[in-house]
Amino acid sequence: MDFQNLISDKMLGVKASAIREIFKVAGKPDVISFAGGLPAPESFPVADIKTICNDILDNEPITALQYGISEGYVPLKELVLNRMKEKEDIGRENDDIIIVSGSQQGCDLTAKVLLNEGDGVICEEPSFIGCLNTFRTYNAKLYGVPMNEDGMDLAVLEETLKKNQNIKLIYTIPTFQNPSGITSSLAVRKGMLELAQKYNVMILEDNPYGELRFSGEKIPTIKSMDTTGHVIYLGSFSKVFSPGLRLAYLIMDKGIMEKIVVGKQATDVHTNVFSQMIAARYLKDYNIDESIETSRKLYKHRCHLMLSCMDTYFPKNVSYTRPDGGIFIWVTLPEGVDTGKLMLEAVERKVAFVPGNAFMTDLDKPSHCFRLNYSTMSDEKIEKGIKILGDLLKERL
Ligand SMILES: Cc1ncc(COP(=O)(O)O)c(C=O)c1O
């Protein structure tokens, strides 16, 4: 049967994520994959979660197994709000929180509530492919603003806002960005907020990696500086607790939250209650900061090892970011090199990465950049894989 003319217009143009396609080859056991973006499995507090699950099923089985409310499990909402207030100074008087099924859903609900077909979304270039695809599924028009070392280019951002009346949203990952590892400076964060206020557009601040800092000074979130309600904050448990539990949260002005709640009801009624109870118990009775500290140390070690191998084995006309946290390094080769083609050669040599075009607004334009991930890799594989990549780069550049 030909399904083509049954598919909706908004899905026709959206392609399967290039990363998923790369995973098919990168997932083979003999391939050293720097293509992923998973948290280190060693960071999952398995024994604690087992104890918590047993306890919940012994003492509160009905709450765990019954329907819940769309806004989220109340004790978890309170714990997260308190934590965000204490750590990030987030939570204005008129703000509220909703627990969502992963940040991916948080982004989807934001798009669902804000965007009409053809509305504009400004995103960093490069940016996280999952959320770019979310905006694409709402038939939004993407406007990429290039990233400098300190975040979005503010002059281009203002120019884009000035020229395009259809823009509703600026999507940013200001801290340890996926894919670039770049952290936006305080000046860029303030500048983005001022521009959002001036042109009356919303900012979606996606911050799944913020707590994974292993060097440098902490920089305030954009949301903490938001006095007018222009910022929607998106936090996640995926990189600091467990991605499989599918837990994230949106904090925003109550005026928009109302619609987000209705949108969530229409999508999945509510986030898995059992997962929410596990996270709430973990936050209340265990030490999540200690567990995050373990991840930070691990990622610091792996990041620094990868960078030092790159310093040794990569040719000198290759540049790369030196992140202060998170799980990604962004590599820039001389103009004209197509990292899509290079990736195929790398895979033949049993090493994988994600070519830069996957993170761009125009997926079809070849990119001379690529993303490396270090979070799940052993020292031995980092050293071996980076040497193989370095040899390939020396031959091709
Ligand atoms: C920037 C960014 N936003 C959102 C997500 C989605 O995370 P979640 O597991 O919370 O849906 C990711 C996952 O890699 C990400 O890197």
Q: Are residues 17 and 130 in the same domain?
A: no
173 CB under 6 A from ligand 1?
yes
Residues in the chain, overall count:
397
Q: Are residues 273 and 307 in the same domain?
A: no
Q: Are residues 261 and 328 in the same domain?
A: no
Domain tally for the chain?
2
Q: Which of 219, 253, 285 is the last residue of a domain?
A: 285
124 CB under 6 A from ligand 1?
no
Residues of the chain with pLDDT under 50: none
Residues 6 or more apart in contact with residue 290 via CB below 8 angstroms: none
Pocket test for ligand 1, best of 103, 176, 271 (most atoms within 8 A of CB): 103
Q: Are residues 127 and 221 in the same domain?
A: yes
192 CB under 6 A from ligand 1?
no
Ligand 1 center to 104 CA (angstroms): 6
pLDDT of residue 26: 74
Domain containing residue 360: CATH number: 3.90.1150.10
Q: Are residues 226 and 303 in the same domain?
A: no
Domain containing residue 54: CATH number: 3.40.640.10
pLDDT of residue 21: 67
Q: Are residues 31 and 63 in the same domain?
A: no
Q: Are residues 129 and 188 in the same domain?
A: yes
Ligand 1 center to 235 CA (angstroms): 9
Q: Are residues 36 and 107 in the same domain?
A: no
Ligand 1 center to 231 CA (angstroms): 18
Q: Which of 285, 311, 338 is the last residue of a domain?
A: 285
pLDDT of residue 20: 65
309: containing domain? 4-44+290-396
Pocket test for ligand 1, best of 99, 100, 104, 176 (most atoms within 8 A of CB): 104
pLDDT of residue 319: 98
pLDDT of residue 9: 84
